[in-house]
Structure 1
């Protein structure tokens, strides 16, 4: 891991008791970039796998280490061998093309589609992340289970970006609730219009002078090419009558910010879904991760905040999201275990196809 430090210096003058005093202000910003790969090393998955300049690695999971790992640098903790603090991977253990899921069992199920002649690398971290890296149709891919919520997605995107060299493609394959009359349980939805976030406004409940109980963000876009590929492959493998598109809504809570009722807490969310639809009529799905993925993908490698900032190509991320409809939040229906198993198999393969076919 390379540490890059940028220092900005500015000066100001003050006049006190007739004496001019000069003050110098120094602001230091530290960023991290992946260690350059050694070009002479072959892929850890074999010479027939399409590689993205990753060095050779051991296949021993991080959790197998007997000695507790010593971490350095409180700003961005890394182990002595370069492993990240939460995801637990180091340079070479994660591919540039990734499918991220919540459930580790779903990651293992999707991994059954990987090329049989390539032995996968598996890394299980102490923080609950599971990374499986192998190949699909000769292209190196990773499947990473991250658990639930925007914080877990934040850990994942930032720490994987820190140990992967070059541009990345990430597809989220998760589950959600439908907040649309025409999207039913047991089908798939692609966030082709991107995502918005809904977060609890804490000051409304325990502070003062706040007028809105929930904060609704502006829209962040998904990658158009990756989303189009997802729609095409899902139609092919799941069925054209079972794939919808629209705007995703990502909440910071399973309960209050998703308008669920809990008599033990005054959540003030009776009108929340109506407020979302009033501002964004095309909102169709509700879950807890996609916005953070798409948001960080747009921010990765930018030289400054804002849409007009330039992006460093080697740090760019393209991201898209698709979800299984587990719950009908308007009608109350819930998916069956049989429907889940069928979708995980067919949609999982569609995600792999979309990932490796998008140039």
Structure 2
């Protein structure tokens, strides 16, 4: 450990850098694309205004890679996090502490397809369930119907932000090349597993009791179409944050931002789910003066078919990442983010520019990395 970290509950350095991502306020935009692979992050960052020579780049000791720049004049960050729930958890929780106000996060990642459609297709799921290994099950024993436990569990669904979901679906449909042979799905469900192997039904030399897992998943979850490892946790964290009263966070975040001479960011709106049925209820009736909603969506590239066992080619991978990445980038830059009444005066005093389309720009230049970007 090269730096001194303060407070074991939420470790930060003396200059307010978070523990795993290594970021601090003023280095992260409120519009974020998250990917798994470093090369995908770099190829998307190369499409930002001015290319890779005009971005802020930070790679942490834990392997997270961040690029912050502008897309059509709008501040935007791209972060590569690797794979799985834990890394998604690090990203959402730590970036939430680096910005104030509303966030829009889109995962652009690979997945396996559970439908008989071509590899290279895209899915923008309307819901996601967690598919997890049941550690109370006796995996070392012979498979038996007498066991009271099931070897795997399926959670209730978590949902994306409806407006961001629609924006992503509209964008990729508009951007698809004329030669594109894949499908674009948006009324399907994703399953996010806690393992690449056992919880995704892959057979290895371990006794995972998963030979019928995919068939069981398809039977239990209507409209399930994709299987990967991150989307559910993103939707889950965004949902619970957006439904909670975030006054405590806003107060601490404002003081952090002030200490860095970075004016605070945007705000309100929140969506609730009915606890019993999971039904969407729309905006919550109670006001949250300095709300900091997290809007989340996922665009999934089907690299492997679990039906035919076909894998996408490297050439098709590059082409799909290029045009879908550009579509997500442009759509996220255009996506409106609220500015809270509590912060509006500070923004009027410090904001150096406005959104290219006339929307409020929640990122003042003073004290931030984009102050030096073109």
Q: Shorter-chain TM-score: which interval?
A: 0.7 to 0.9
Deviation of the 1:353 alpha carbon: 1.6
Once the two structures are overlaid, the 10-residue window that deviates more, 118-127 or 212-221, is 118-127
Greater RCO between the two (CA within 8 Å, min separation 6)? Answer: 2
- Helix, strand or coil: the match of 1:326? strand
CA contact (8 A) 1:97 1:142 kept: yes
Q: Pick the structure with more strand per residue.
A: 1
The separation in 2 between residues aligned to 1:75 and 1:189, in whole angstroms, is: 37
Pairs within 5 Å for 1:11-30: none
Equivalent position of 1:202 in the other structure:
135
Given that 1:157 and 1:293 are in contact with CA atoms closer than 8 Å, whether structure 2 keeps it comes out as yes
Calculate the aligned-residue CA RMSD, in Å.
2.2
TM-score w.r.t. structure 1 length? Answer: 0.76
Aligned pair count reads 289
**What are the within-5 Å matches in structure 2 for residues 1-359 of structure 1?**
68-116=2-50, 119-181=54-116, 183-191=117-125, 193-205=126-138, 210-239=148-177, 242-245=183-186, 246-262=188-204, 264-301=205-242, 302-303=244-245, 307=273, 312=288, 314-359=291-336
For 2:47, what is the secondary structure of its paired residue?
coil
**1:203/1:210 contact within 8 Å kept:** no
TM score, norm. by length of structure 2: 0.73
Instruction: Kindly indicate whether the alpha-carbon contact (under 8 Å) linking 2:139 and 2:151 is maintained by their aligned counterparts in 1.
Output: no
TM-aligned CA deviation for residue 136 of structure 1: 0.2
SS in 1 for 2:320: helix
State the 1:80 CA deviation: 1.1
Larger Rg: 1
For residue 348 of structure 1, report the CA deviation from its aligned partner.
Answer: 0.4
Unaligned runs of 5+ in 1: 1-66
Deviation at 1:315, TM superposition (A): 2.5
Report the CA distance between 1:329 and its aligned residue: 0.5
Residues 150-200 of structure 1 show CA distances to partners (whole Å, capped at 9, x for unaligned) of 10000000000011111000000000000112x320121111x21001000
